[in-house]
Amino acid sequence: MGKTILVTGGSGFIGSSLIDYLIDQKYTVICLDNFDTFYPRPIKQDNIRSAISSPLYQLIEGDIRDKGLLENIFRANTIDTIVHLAAKAGVRPSILNPQEYMDVNINGTLNILETMKAYHVKKIIFASSSSIYGNNEKIPYSESDNVDHPISPYAGSKKSGELLTHIYHHLFDFNVINFRFFTVYGPRQRPDQAIHRFFKNIYADIPIEVYGDGTTSRDYTYIADIVSGISKAISYLDANKNVYETINLGNHNPITLSGLIDLIESVTQRKFVIKRMPMQMGDVNVTFADISKAQRLLGYNPDTPLKEGLVKFKKWYEATIQ
């Protein structure tokens, strides 16, 4: 068996997709997930249906805020690398419930780092977010840009996570890659996210709520490209010492909301009913990743055009509603 990877939040969209890949690559994987009620538990159970049958997979249900549980996991396993994806997700919900977002995303991350320190585990990949850039006027967004002006509690919690990983790199020689993910989509995407909601509504002939005038844009990144980037980061941490890097993982090809709507109509051969709504608090106008650092350090090369990714999502979505 290969090295052991601990994936927190491993039953979610990105985590379960990554774990399936890692198992295929013969890594031993521990999945820690609390099955948060943010969306229905059966969705996550479907996500891990393939992994759970593998002898390389161990599922532990629990919360990253539970220090005793983390101690037990690290004591019982020789963990090589942590991929820390567990978090309260979503910009808009974080405005309604900032305390829990800060508790899970900051205190939970601190617990992970402290347990790593206690058990001499030195390698971590931390899931940050493109939301950290706020309404940065300079595009595309570069890792060297100032990110001192987040506009949602969620973004603030992710910035805080990056600061924490730097502290542990500086004080305790942790090797760290912080990934700023740019609007990940694809099979297993969370039901609250735009592409999934849009597909659900267009198939059910339910109006979609379009916030703003349709000119906001997002750098949609297909899940397989994200998984590729994370796997390359695991290899990078294996091969290098004294690593502290913050890296964008995006597609470098944003599309407007109106353009996305047109593309989904084209892919599905259906028409949306649109309900216009004002812009939401905390939403950014643009996300657009400068991915040159990921290309240079990791050999990252996102190769799934949005239309191709939407066709794959359509196939998955239709299978889930049959």
Catalytic residue, chosen from 57, 154, 168, 222, is 154
Residue 1 pLDDT = 55
Distance CA 173, CA 92 (A): 35
d(CA 322, CA 302) in angstroms, rounded, equals 31
The pLDDT of residue 186: 98
- Residue 39: φ, ψ to 5°: -145, 165
Q: Return per-residue pLDDT of the chain as tens, 322 residues.
A: 579 999 999 999 999 999 999 999 999 999 999 999 999 999 999 999 999 999 999 999 999 999 999 999 999 999 999 999 999 999 999 999 999 999 999 999 999 999 999 999 999 999 999 999 999 889 999 999 999 999 999 999 999 999 999 999 999 999 999 999 999 999 999 999 999 999 999 999 999 999 889 999 999 999 999 999 999 999 999 999 999 999 999 999 999 999 999 999 999 999 999 999 988 877 788 999 999 999 999 999 999 999 999 999 999 999 999 8
As separate numbers, helices (DSSP H) first and strands (DSSP E) second, the chain gives 12, 13
C-alpha distances in Å from residue 176, one per residue of 97, 126, 127, 166? 29, 7, 11, 8
- Strands of 156-309 (E only): list them: 175-181, 184-185, 208-211, 217-218, 221-222, 244-249, 255-256, 274-277
In this predicted structure, what is the pLDDT of residue 298? Answer: 98
Q: What is the pTM of this model?
A: 0.96
Rg (C-alpha) for the chain, rounded Å, is 19
For the domain covering 4-184+223-252+288-303, report its CATH number. 3.40.50.720
Helix H, strand E, coil C: the string for 34-101 is CCCCCCCHHHHHHHCCCHHHCCCEEEEECCCCCHHHHHHHHHHCCCCEEEECCCCCCHHHHHHCHHHH
**pLDDT for position 192:** 92
CA distance 322 to 319: 6
| 154 catalytically annotated | yes
